[in-house]
Every structure is written in C-alpha cells, then in structure tokens.
Chain A
Amino acid sequence: MKATVVGAGGLGGPLALALGAAGVELVVVDPDLVEVSNLHRQIQFTAGDVGAAKATTLAARVVAAGGRAKGYKLRWVTEDADDLSADSDLIVEGSDDPATKFAVADWAVARSKPYVIAAALRFGGNILVGAPGTACYRCLFEEPAAADTCAAAGVLGPVVGAIGGAAAAFALAIARNGARGNLGTLYAFDDLRSSPDPRIVRFSPRADCTACAQRKAS
C-alpha cells in the first residue's frame, strides 16, 4: 500500500507518522521550511529542524520510526501529480491552501483513487473522505475561495494533532477495507475543547459538478 501525503505541517505530521508506522509507504510533499512559529503544533519537528525542508525532514522521521517514505520539497500541483502520485493507492491532503485541496480531490476523482481531505482552524476542523463513484469535495464545496488560515485566524496546537490523527484513521480504513460507510462523507469537528464528536454530513453528487463530469467523460 502506498499513499501520497500532501502537506507536512500540523496535519501532515500526524498523518505521515501514523500511516508510516502502519506500514503504508509514503510520498510526502510540501514546499515549506520549518519555522520557529510552527513548533507549538507541528510536534514532529524540533528546534533543531528550523530552516530545514518540512517534507524531507518528516519523511526522515517516518523512516527513523521504521517506515518507508520519501519527501519532496515542492508544492503539489496537478501538472506534476502523475509523476508524484500515480503509483499511490490513495492520497491524503493536509495543506492550508484551498486550491490545493480542490486540485487533489479533482485529480483523485479523475484517476479513480480514494482520498481524504483534512483541514483545521481555531478549535475544530473538517475531514472529507472520498472515492470514485461517491459525491466529491467539489460536489460539496464547489470552488476554492479565500479562506481563513491558521496564520490569520489561529489554531489550537492539539487540534491539528487530533484532526490529523482522525484523518489517518480514515485513510487506514480506506487502505484496509475500502471504508465503504465513510465514503462521500464530511466530518465537521466544531470545537474539540467542548466535544470530540463530529457532525456527520452525508451529501449527494451535485448534478453540475465539473470534477464528476470530467471523470464520467474520460
């Protein structure tokens, strides 16, 4: 089993460490360097990592824990996606960029691969679990837009660990048995300080979804 993890930060850290420890071979992709301001929530890194590439440093941590991983210091974009991720069995997204989330989901739909899209902000987060044939990320949210980021709105450090861990659990469920019951579902964790229970949003394919239409046409 092989997976691409897009983003090596607050979400990508727990995702990669959990999946790598479970025996999933990983491709880790992130263009950023470790900054001091990351350390309160990106606990896969240490002060000694400041200035190093997140992707390769995280991949090294996965390998040090006994897993298999390769890191790439670059932004995951559709143009390079087949080179990076064509041999992945699933793709998991934990970046802070709305356009990347849509690009990953659209590519996964087009390539008939299961995927997990995770996000965290302030005290909560969202996880969408998708696969070909079910309603997709674009069916639900339609198009990227300027959204608040952790840098602007903040995030409680442990929240990214919790959301990243939950996203890893969904990814492992896909890896093991297809996670039929979770596909086409958004888990919206509102405020982890008061409740760990997500709102479970099951949604239907949207008739005018361009990603689903492209898949059907190809």
Chain B
Amino acid sequence: MATIRVPSALRLLTANQADVEVDAPTVRAALAALDQKHPGIAKKVLDGDAVKPFIRIYVGPDDIEALQGLDTPVTTRDEIAIIPALAGGR
C-alpha cells in the first residue's frame, strides 16, 4: 500500500492521522481512496480535476507536475506528500 503523508494543516480532516495507507495505482486514485476514508479532504486538495494551485503533491522527492500529474503511477513503497502553502503566523 502507498502511504499518503497528510500535512498537519489538514489533519483535522483525518482525525489527526498523519499517514494514511491506500491501495491505488495512481496519485488520482490514491486521493480518491483517501477521500473515501476521510470525506472532505479531496475538496481541500483538488479543484475539479486539477490540484489546487497553492498545493503541491510529491511522490517521493518528485513534484507530480514534473511527472505525470495526477496520473503519476504509485507503487506500494511510495510516499505521497501533500504540501500546502500556509498563511498562519500572526
């Protein structure tokens, strides 16, 4: 199973679970599986069929933009990291 690394900023949606294992062949399918387990999180990451512009997704060390986007294949050993722009700090 691939592991999705959920950033702390989004963990309110995963009951504070940092790592969620999913069985999926692509990043798109992995996010769908994540949303099935934790409804609502896909809306935070995706805008329709695209990744929201202020969010980056990495498979291992690579930005999926430099791979095949949401169709990037994932294997059972891959870590998918969601990295959002943050705004807090005041």
Interface positions of A (Cβ within 8 A of B): 7, 9-12, 32, 38, 94-98, 101, 118-126, 140-145, 147-150, 153, 155, 160, 163-164, 186, 188, 190-191, 199, 201, 203-204
Contact = CB atoms under 8 A, between A and B. Distances in A.
Given A140-B56, A141-B53, A101 B87 contact: yes
Given A98-B54, A122-B88, A147-B85, 18 more contacts: A11-B90, A94-B90, A96-B88, A101-B85, A119-B88, A121-B9, A121-B86, A124-B8, A124-B9, A125-B88, A125-B89, A141-B53, A141-B85, A147-B84, A147-B86, A148-B87, A155-B88, A188-B83
A125 B18 CA distance: 15
B12 interface: yes
20 contacts: A9-B89, A94-B90, A96-B89, A119-B88, A121-B88, A121-B89, A122-B11, A140-B56, A143-B54, A145-B85, A147-B84, A147-B85, A147-B88, A148-B88, A150-B88, A155-B88, A186-B83, A190-B5, A190-B7, A203-B56
Among B53, B54, B89, chain A packs the most CB atoms within 10 A around the CB of B89
B70 to A, nearest CB: 16
Nearest to A188: B83
A153 B88 CA distance: 9
A201 B89 contact: no
Contacts of B52: 145
B54 A142 contact: yes
Contacts of A199: 81, 83
A120 B85 contact: no
B35 interface: no
A123 B87 contact: no
Contacts of B81: 199
Contacts of A155: 88-89
B21 interface: no
Contacts of B86: 119-121, 124-126, 147-148
Among B8, B11, B12, chain A packs the most CB atoms within 10 A around the CB of B8
Among B7, B56, B85, chain A packs the most CB atoms within 10 A around the CB of B85
Contact of A7 (B7, B85, B89): B89
A119 B18 CA distance: 20
Contacts of A204: 66
A95 B8 contact: no
Contacts of A186: 83
Among A121, A143, A150, chain B packs the most CB atoms within 10 A around the CB of A121
A143 B55 CA distance: 10
Contacts of B83: 126, 186, 188, 199, 201
Contacts of B18: 190-191
B89 A95 contact: yes
